[in-house]
Chain A
Amino acid sequence: MTHSDQELIRRAIDGSDEAARDLFRRYWPQVWRVAYGITGRRAAADDVAQDSFCRAFASLPSVDSNRPFFPWLKKITVNRALDELRRYARQDTFERTHEPHGDAGWLDDLLDRDAVFSAMSTIDPQQRTVIVLRLWLDYSIEEAASLLEVPRGTIMSRQARGLASLRRILEESWTNSSR
């Protein structure tokens, strides 16, 4: 029998670890992919996804259990992922180049195999974030503007320029590979 999110939340709050685990398992893959889509790094995605769930679950006793769970959790995750981007930018270059083996991110994971990911990894991070929010996470312009705390026009500008950049990079890639 499949329980609704609200039913799982109520049971988890009442003490059922099984209900809490069911709720976690229901959304963990999606939350992790949101985190990875924005941060581009496995270790960061692990941390962001786990932290987002912890924040959400710790607040379950106090939030309205009828509130749609996943949209709320997704918003927490996007905010945490964006915080992680900012933290990563402040890291010393040494730390970034000496990250643990296996967390090379988009470049090493996908560069040689996927032109789209390669192109995504090279465009301006602000433009990429808007494209991820709009095309992967299905945010409206207003929702993206609210989340990033920028004017609506800024979202549209970054979207247009990001797509133009991707188009150019991909066409160059195809042109070079056909020679």
Chain B
Amino acid sequence: MDELIEMIQEAESRLPGASLAEAKRAEARVVAALRDAQRVGRHGGGWRLLRQPRVAISLAMAAAAVVGVGIGIGLVIAPSGTAASSAGPGFSPSSGWNTISTGIAAPPQAPTAMAANVPFVSADLTPGPGNFPTQTISGLDPNGIVMIAVFYPRGENSKMDEGFRDTRLPLSITDATLQAPSETAPVPARIGHYGLAAAVGNYDVSLDLFFGTHDLSAQLKAAAQDELARLVVPASG
């Protein structure tokens, strides 16, 4: 079983518990809430359980996101048209496209690759896997495209593999679906964000595609499809 998944699941058992004093206070208030609701005949109270509040995930919680220093180790950056000597999954080089990949040199064990038909903003050149190159994305013009692919090891945990359908390369732009806006890594509203998930070989591939427009012309889609066709997933990794 994936060691990381085991660790996360096991960590749940180490979560602290509530204090006894707080539990006692809460117990009294909760029982009172039931009696209050019955007394005033407010069935359902002021809390309509059928109403699902719109959830907006916040920027809060803890320290700022860490942009891994270690990710710089083994990072392969291939400016447009040059060869990227990556032993792992990623985008093959092509004129007009810039690519970044982490390869499979340890660390990390979850390779990440990015491709863009625009130059990457320097601040985005050392991405943490899991993070978007938001400055590059935010600057996209209507013809701009950025793709980010995360390759997670497949077959180690069936729950994590759920939803990644066996697919043969090349991936198809027609399988990409519109994604929800991110509140923690926001991009301008004019940016179109699509996602695509596929099981390819030994990897669950999660792909995010960003366009500088919501109006995807046939030409823009074709350019994206051409780049998708350059996605390489080694037979083993």
Contact = CB atoms under 8 A, between A and B. Distances in A.
B206 A107 contact: no
Which of A21, A122, A161 neighbours the largest number of chain B CB atoms within 10 Å of its CB?
A161
Interface in A60-98: 60-63, 72, 76, 79, 82-83, 85-86, 88-91, 96
Given A49-B18, A79-B53, A89 B206 contact: no
Contacts of B112: 164
Nearest to B204: A160
Contacts of B183: 126
| Interface of chain A, main secondary structure | helix
B61 A125 contact: yes
A10 interface: no
A151 B22 CA distance: 37
Interface size bracket, B side: 35 or more
A7 interface: no
B33 A163 contact: no
Interface stretch (B2-10, B88-96, B212-220): B2-10
Interface string A100-127: 0000011101000010110011111111
Contacts, number: 270
B177 A88 contact: no
B14 A163 contact: no
B30 A53 contact: yes
A156 B31 contact: no
B18 A114 contact: no
Given A154-B180, A160-B204, A161-B129, A24 B70 contact: no
A31 B197 CA distance: 32
A153 B197 contact: yes
B45 interface: yes
B49 A169 contact: no
Nearest to B152: A160
Contacts of A170: 4, 7
A118 to B, nearest CB: 9
A156 B53 contact: no
B15 A172 contact: no
Interface string B47-66: 10100111111111111111
Q: Nearest 4 A-B pairs (CB), nearest first?
A: A89-B58, A165-B130, A160-B206, A58-B45
Interface of A: 12-13, 17, 20-21, 24-25, 28-29, 32-33, 36-37, 39-40, 42, 45-46, 49-50, 53-63, 72, 76, 79, 82-83, 85-86, 88-91, 96, 105-107, 109, 114, 116-117, 120-129, 131, 134-136, 140-141, 147-157, 159-172, 175
Given A134-B159, A167-B129, 4 more contacts: A59-B49, A153-B197, A165-B128, A172-B107
